[in-house]
Structure 1
Amino acid sequence: MEHKNSVEFLVRGRYALFTDPLTKIGGEKFTYQVPTYQALKGIIESIYWKPTIQWYIDEVRIMNQIRTQSIGIRAPHYKDTKNDLSIYTYLKDVEYQVRAHFEWNENRPDLANDRNENKHWLIAKRMIEKGGRRDVFLGTRECQAEVEPCVFGESSSDYDNVDLSFGMMVHGITYADEAYNEETKGKMSVRLWNPVMKNGIIAFIRPEDCEIVRPIKKMTMKEFVNGVNFQSVENEEIN
């Protein structure tokens, strides 16, 4: 489903690491086969974000064949100067088409004066053309990525006419300022789901539609003051 204020972009990189949390126990990391909702949300937030809006990832299209590469990493100890050799397994030569849209963050009524839908949308599209406001990476900081505009569904994919199920995966994290019901207010929570790819496309469910949600810890919302740690969109240039 395409929304009025949706954006479409292509993101590509030499490596990606969407870490399966089950593999972190021994200090090693193994990637999921496909990006999580949270990883893609982090990408669009690196491109353009304001606390007034909340980004929702609608769909991702897997363009390149899913391949992995294992690399030895010397991970430093936390308590001394020694290090251990760990194996990180990355996705290699990835490319994704992404469709997303934003909605007002109803947890931020104090920023209601910043709700200029057209200007937020125009700035977001402009930032996609520029490659993002901040560094864009695929899962982890060492996996740098490039972003550019695209038409979702255009050009061929290695997974056209292919359907796959990926089992239980992390959908994303709900922070205190993104709470959608009483159970998620004042907390950080993790969401799980079962993604299915159809014709190379994964259609994401909304955070509130995830049936498996687990609280992690208590959390308070950050305060924003216009002119101090926040600038209204009305004071920004589209270009």
Structure 2
Amino acid sequence: MSFGFSIEAWGERALFTRPELSVERVTYDVITPSAARGLIESVYWHPGMRYVIDRIHVINPIEFSSVRRNEVKAKANSRSMRRAVQGLEGLPHLYTGQEREQRSSVCLTNVRYVIEAHFVMTDQAKPGDNPGKFCDILKRRLRKGQCYSQPYFGCREFAANVRLLEDGIPIGVYADLPERDFGIMLYDMDYASPNDITPIFYRAVMHNGVIDVSKSEVYR
């Protein structure tokens, strides 16, 4: 039995922030594998399983737009939070009205993707857990439109619609484009060591509208 699946995701806007341009947000040209995994985890997540992105199909044209958004320029102090948990001082606070500032963002518009993925079992799976059980739960939630949190494209204000694709992958506008190289993109974050979180990158090349993530080389 195969435990792979395909999900169609679409929305009005998307912003997959390039880490090298962190002040004024500029998006990657397409969705990153980590963002695609986050979409699926919004529908169903369990510590006994881990999603792996295989392929990303770019269905709609890649179009950009520039917007200005209100953002908070400060961050809550982690040291103050630890001391508050220990009962050594009061809860830290942040007044968004005083810390608000406008920033420009370059976003994607009218995005639509098909994400092919599968999952693997982890060492946190319990004796009663099995791949068939997880697959049935995930597909049932996708068919009913259920989710633990609203799926989004990069930033929470850019909501995404998702559905289980069971009627064949639609033909995208880039189906006849032999190759398009998007360069080095973020693949995922390695959280193996809490004190040393490592970003992982990969070379994103689209052939006939499809980025084959499973065959791409990753860089740490």
TM-score range, shorter chain: 0.7 to 0.9
Preserved contact between residue 15 and residue 153 of structure 2 (Cα < 8 Å): yes
| Counterpart check, 1:171 vs 2:187 | yes
Preserved contact between residue 46 and residue 132 of structure 1 (Cα < 8 Å): no
Higher relative contact order, structure no. (Cα contacts within 8 Å, ≥ 6 residues apart): 2
Tell me how far 1:10 sits from its aligned partner: 0.5
| Counterpart check, 1:189 vs 2:203 | no
Q: What is the TM-score with the length of structure 2 in the denominator?
A: 0.82
Tell me how far 1:47 sits from its aligned partner: 1.2
Matches within 5 A, 1:1-239: 4-24=2-22, 27-78=23-74, 81-106=98-123, 108=124, 111-133=125-147, 134-151=149-166, 154-162=169-177, 163-176=179-192, 187-205=196-214, 210=218, 212-213=219-220
Residue 161 of structure 1 aligns to which amino acid in structure 2? D
- Structure 2 distance, partners of 1:112, 1:128, is 24
Once the two structures are superposed, residues 206-233 of structure 1 have per-residue CA deviations (whole angstroms, 9 ceiling, x without a partner) of: 79x52x21xxxxxxxxxxxxxxxxxxxx
What is the RMSD computed on CA atoms of the aligned residues?
2.2
Q: What is the TM-score with the length of structure 1 in the denominator?
A: 0.76
- Structure 1 distance, partners of 2:20, 2:68, is 19
Q: Which runs of 5 or more structure 1 residues have no equivalent in the other structure?
A: 177-183, 214-239
- Classify the secondary structure of the residue corresponding to 1:113: coil
Residue 121 of structure 1 aligns to which amino acid in structure 2? C
Q: Which runs of 5 or more structure 2 residues have no equivalent in the other structure?
A: 75-93
Once the two structures are superposed, residues 133-152 of structure 1 have per-residue CA deviations (whole angstroms, 9 ceiling, x without a partner) of: 22110111011011112148
The alignment covers a number of residue pairs equal to 197
Preserved contact between residue 60 and residue 111 of structure 2 (Cα < 8 Å): yes
Preserved contact between residue 60 and residue 201 of structure 1 (Cα < 8 Å): yes
Structure 1 residue runs of 4 or more that deviate by more than 4 Å after TM superposition: 184-187
Residue 149 of structure 1 aligns to which amino acid in structure 2? L
Once the two structures are superposed, residues 60-85 of structure 1 have per-residue CA deviations (whole angstroms, 9 ceiling, x without a partner) of: 10000000110012323328715332
Preserved contact between residue 20 and residue 31 of structure 1 (Cα < 8 Å): yes
- Indicate the percent of aligned positions where both proteins have the same amino acid: 27
